Amino acid sequence: MTNEHADSESDEGIDLWTLIQSYCLGVDRELVARLVAWPPDFAQIHVHEVIGGMLARQATLTKDIAHAPSLWTGHSAPILLRAMADAYINISWLLLDPVERCSKFILFGLGQAKLELEHRRTQIGTREPTAPEAAILEAAEQWIDRQRINWLLDVDLGKWSSLTVRQMAEEAGCIDFYNYVYMPFSACAHSMWHHVARYDLVECNNPLHRHHRRPISEARAPDINYWTLAAKYWSKTLGTFDKAFMLNIAEPSSYESLVSAVTNSVDHDPY
Ligand SMILES: [Zn+2]
């Protein structure tokens, strides 16, 4: 009796929102398990802040993608997936020499924040800033000051690693990920021609018009593969993190649970 009842329930399948909720809870559990197994080393606290922050960002991005089926299209999902790919390559490269590289990562970001502040000041020029402008300037200055090294900060206009993303991916042993994930998704993130021509134009069927393409803003049906890709990149990030810190976490994988729940619609490419 009990078995029959259980069978009829599983035949109905799990509804999408239940699956999304359970996936997101799984991601939170996975993140917490890492933070428990990897306590801060206060001698090198910047490593914990940078790597921990990046890990938390990946968790947030994969949950945000999971929560928004309307974004599971070729128009929008690659923008977020490209950001996850970027973070994955960064983390992989940072972890090869975390003490030195995380400090460069912070300095570059602070340099950028300082530059942004200078641009705002230049825009205001010699006139008296309005109250909201003054508040923004002060908040930005205080934030940089709180990082303790404001007065020593050089504005660095280059790349923080002095390498291209491609070179970082090569060094970190994830050039395939760069070629097959980062690059194709960049076309969408940067609205390049080979994306726009495919997604935002449609060929006219009037034979007199020499097959020109018409602009079209058209919703696409959500494709669950975009969610499973986000789940995969989160899982890859955890794998790289666990390996670097030699962690052996028994927590069930949110990616594997998701794949087994939607197994028929999942892609099987290795990246
Ligand atoms: Zn036409």
Predicted TM-score (pTM) of this structure: 0.84
What is the pLDDT averaged over residues 2-6?
41
Predicted confidence (pLDDT) at residue 20 exceeds the cutoff of 70: yes
What is the pLDDT averaged over residues 94-118?
89
Distance 191 CA to ligand 1 centre (A): 23
Distance 210 CA to ligand 1 centre (A): 8
Banded pLDDT at 154 (limits 50, 70, 90): low
Distance 198 CA to ligand 1 centre (A): 17
Distance 94 CA to ligand 1 centre (A): 51
Q: What is the pLDDT of residue 153?
A: 57
| Beta-carbon contacts of residue 55 (< 8 Å; ≥ 6 apart) | 31, 34, 91, 237, 238, 241
Banded pLDDT at 109 (limits 50, 70, 90): confident
Predicted confidence (pLDDT) at residue 5 exceeds the cutoff of 50: no
Distance 211 CA to ligand 1 centre (A): 7
Q: What is the pLDDT of residue 31?
A: 97
Predicted confidence (pLDDT) at residue 158 exceeds the cutoff of 70: no
Distance 207 CA to ligand 1 centre (A): 8
Q: What is the pLDDT of residue 65?
A: 98
- Strand pairing partners for 120? none
Q: What is the pLDDT of residue 48?
A: 95
Q: What is the pLDDT of residue 9?
A: 42
Q: 159-199 pLDDT, tens per residue?
A: 667 788 999 999 999 999 999 999 999 999 999 999 999 99
Distance 214 CA to ligand 1 centre (A): 7
Q: What is the pLDDT of residue 11?
A: 43
Q: What is the pLDDT of residue 2?
A: 40
Segments making up each domain of the chain, as ranges: 14-96+223-271, 97-171
Q: What is the pLDDT of residue 88?
A: 97
* pLDDT averaged over every residue in the chain: 87
Q: Which of 14 and 248 is assigned the larger pLDDT?
A: 248
Q: What is the DSSP letter of 181?
A: I
Sign of the C-alpha dihedral computed for residues 109, 110, 114 and 115 taken in this order:
negative
Nearest partner of 160 among 113, 104, 88, judged by Cα: 104
Distance 204 CA to ligand 1 centre (A): 5
- Strand pairing partners for 10? none
Q: What is the pLDDT of residue 58?
A: 98
E strand spans, 13-74: none
Q: 220-266 pLDDT, tens per residue?
A: 999 999 999 999 999 999 999 999 999 999 888 999 999 999 885 44
| Beta-carbon contacts of residue 119 (< 8 Å; ≥ 6 apart) | none
Distance 216 CA to ligand 1 centre (A): 12
Distance 206 CA to ligand 1 centre (A): 5
CB 27 within 8 A of CB 62: yes
